[in-house]
Structure 1
């Protein structure tokens, strides 16, 4: 990676009290394959669990998304230990509803406030990057995810059905 690319990537790093969020690079593929292949994590996500090949394709898409948009999905690490906790950031929803905040962390992270901390930092970055409206979608039965979204200030805007599930659409206007 060139010095200019390293500098650009560094400017997109977000740190919080406990987390470091870094735009993904090819070096993150092994962690992303494990995360996206885990039913406990990606069973909740749009399109579900990913194969290793699909995770690699999505990594390329995420890298390109950052280059084109100036925002995207981060790999989330615990400061200090450097442990990979999951992902958090933005994607363009394929259903045309808009730019969506998403997060997926290891089940071992649940109940520790990491998702809330990463989502709050992502939302702030997105609004600073010029996003006027950011949405997030959660299944009605995913109480934990709904709690994160409301705790970071997102409001319920609408609902729809997807693959038999009632989906709640939250939004934040910056």
Structure 2
């Protein structure tokens, strides 16, 4: 996983325009122009916060698989884990590995609580959250969908002052 750069824009445009990859994400699929704006935001976020979204690549081939990382939710719920991979990359443990790495990175960077949100019907994403040790922490409705909130709370020994 590496922080995104301008060289990743073509891959990000394809990923974020794909209904299978990004249709379940907050605000859904993106136009190319919006993806370019989000990339600039992601680069700036890394510079300011020291964490953010990573591009995920397959080790053996170097193929772009998707994104994973940490973001501040626009609804004020906190710093959230997010991930979106190509549909053909699913079921191989990539999301689980990337999500676990993002949680570990976030807690090591001093984030005491990290949440993740998934639609009730998104069983695959919920399974990843549970498999990496996140626990149920609430629910809400968004655009007619039941959304579940999961959380990971750093142990006091792991959290930075």
- Which bin holds the TM-score, normalised by the shorter protein? over 0.9
The structural deviation recorded for 1:53 is: 0.1
Following the alignment from structure 1 to structure 2, what is the Cα–Cα distance between the partners of residues 111 and 82? 18
Following the alignment from structure 2 to structure 1, what is the Cα–Cα distance between the partners of residues 94 and 38? 23
- 2:84 maps to 1:104: yes
- 2:111 maps to 1:128: no
Picking from 140, 149, 154, the partner of 1:169 is: 149
Task: Give the TM-score normalised by structure 1.
Answer: 0.88
Q: Secondary structure at the match of 1:90?
A: strand
Q: Pairwise mapping of residues 13-162 of structure 1 onto structure 2 (< 5 A)?
A: 21-162=1-142
Following the alignment from structure 2 to structure 1, what is the Cα–Cα distance between the partners of residues 127 and 60? 27
* Structure 1, unaligned runs of 5 or more: 1-20
Following the alignment from structure 1 to structure 2, what is the Cα–Cα distance between the partners of residues 50 and 119? 22
Following the alignment from structure 2 to structure 1, what is the Cα–Cα distance between the partners of residues 116 and 45? 18
Q: Secondary structure at the match of 2:34?
A: helix
Following the alignment from structure 2 to structure 1, what is the Cα–Cα distance between the partners of residues 60 and 150? 33
Following the alignment from structure 2 to structure 1, what is the Cα–Cα distance between the partners of residues 59 and 21? 21
Task: Give the TM-score normalised by structure 2.
Answer: 0.95
* Structure 2, unaligned runs of 5 or more: 155-161
Count of residues in correspondence between the two structures: 154
Following the alignment from structure 1 to structure 2, what is the Cα–Cα distance between the partners of residues 42 and 81? 23
Q: Secondary structure at the match of 1:71?
A: coil
The structural deviation recorded for 1:80 is: 2.3
